[in-house]
Chain A
């Protein structure tokens, strides 16, 4: 009796331990590509370099918020010489002034890695409002 119970338990263990393998059968490893809008493509240069931006944009936005709210400084001079408005969604030189489509840009990666940023609890996507 007990041997059967042990084998059953081990079977459950192996199935659970290999869960990510069988859950993804037929899945691909391809990560979604954030689509750059025409404007962003034309601008070529963002606030930071590509991988730096991917890794650090949330900290940058956090810094920006504090700088704007506490020091009322609203212009950011990037290392590459360009200047940006320190805002997520207000103005043509803000983040979303260039990356106009939240769904095709922000959400692509955030959904992929299951990140639920609290940005949108206060800020609104300008496109969502008009719709």
Chain B
């Protein structure tokens, strides 16, 4: 038992029970269905913008890109234009790979001692974090996009096409969406990694576990509602459409599980800007990735340089000319 994950786990259970009991027992649908979601959206947008503007205000005096290939040099030395970009286009392509394919995570290595008498430290390629992260993020993206069907009327054809692709395995009724299962499985894998890998466990804090438990809770309640307990989906869309048209309604016959799902999503949104989840915005602002390595081609002047009083050689000579001539030292100007 480790309080670093017991506490967030208890917190997520508490959130679930709070909404479930609040709706089923006390009838607080308006609180968990209307007030909290609106507050969460405001907190998310405001917090996100505020956090990024705060980052934008910090000085970046130096070019500090991490270089992962040959930099631009002589014409006969082949430059790695993406891993060591010197142009804006190179940086753009590098950022695309970083954002959509998590390229730097792909290079992840692990260090371990050989289990023999040499006991030598060796580094090996560790791909599973990258695979898990990719599955998790794309699963989450598709799930989020699919949820737009509750928020848009009429539902665009592109969304229907996405649903068709996502449900292409056609198992069961209602048909299985692959993305939901990928999301839950990947989140569970990322959690297992934090709990069972001793080295990762050692550096994991409550703030690492909380979003994972929250997302697992969201995925689990969503899957439960779709495949097992079932909800009145027309009522749910009436509810969500009420929120986005600013005429909120509480549909009859939609139970506590749905409001538990909504509360956990709201908490995730509100928690987003003040947590590690802000890497979503931060990735665009990472100076080690988003800068061109052109320090040799271009002069970059420190933005907070102040004017320094310099004493040039001419002024020095003017000052000491007579004494210099007297001592027999060479001078540029005789008089």
Task: List A residues at the B interface (Cβ < 8 Å).
Answer: 2-3, 6-7, 9-10, 13-14, 17-21, 23-24, 27-31, 50-51, 54-56, 58-59, 61-62, 109, 111-116, 118
The reply on B30 being an interface residue by CB < 8 A is: no
CB distance from A15 to the nearest CB of B (A): 11
Inter-subunit contact A24/B249 (CB<8 Å)? no
Task: List B residues at the A interface (Cβ < 8 Å).
Answer: 44-45, 48-49, 52-53, 56, 60, 148-155, 159-160, 163-164, 170, 172-175, 230-238, 241-242, 244-245, 247-249, 252-253, 281, 284-285
Q: Which of A10, A24, A59 contacts B52 (CB 8 A)?
A: A10
Which applies to chain A's interface (DSSP): helix, strand, loop or mixed? helix
Inter-subunit contact B232/A24 (CB<8 Å)? no
Instruction: Give A10 to B231 CA distance when docked, in angstroms.
Output: 36
CB distance from A58 to the nearest CB of B (A): 5
Extra inter-chain contacts (18) besides given A20-B151, A23-B152, A114-B159, CB under 8 Å: A2-B56, A3-B56, A6-B52, A7-B56, A10-B52, A20-B244, A21-B244, A24-B244, A24-B245, A31-B234, A54-B235, A55-B231, A55-B232, A59-B173, A61-B173, A111-B155, A115-B174, A116-B163
Q: Which of A54, A62, A113, A118 contacts B170 (CB 8 A)?
A: A118
CB distance from B270 to the nearest CB of A (A): 14
Inter-subunit contact A31/B53 (CB<8 Å)? no
Inter-chain contacts of B242 with A (CB < 8 A)? 29
A54-B253, A55-B230, A113-B150 known; A17 and B52 CB under 8 Å? no
Inter-chain contacts of A58 with B (CB < 8 A)? 173-174
Instruction: Give A9 to B242 CA distance when docked, in angstroms.
Output: 29
CB distance from A73 to the nearest CB of B (A): 19
Inter-subunit contact A20/B148 (CB<8 Å)? yes
Instruction: Give A64 to B155 CA distance when docked, in angstroms.
Output: 30
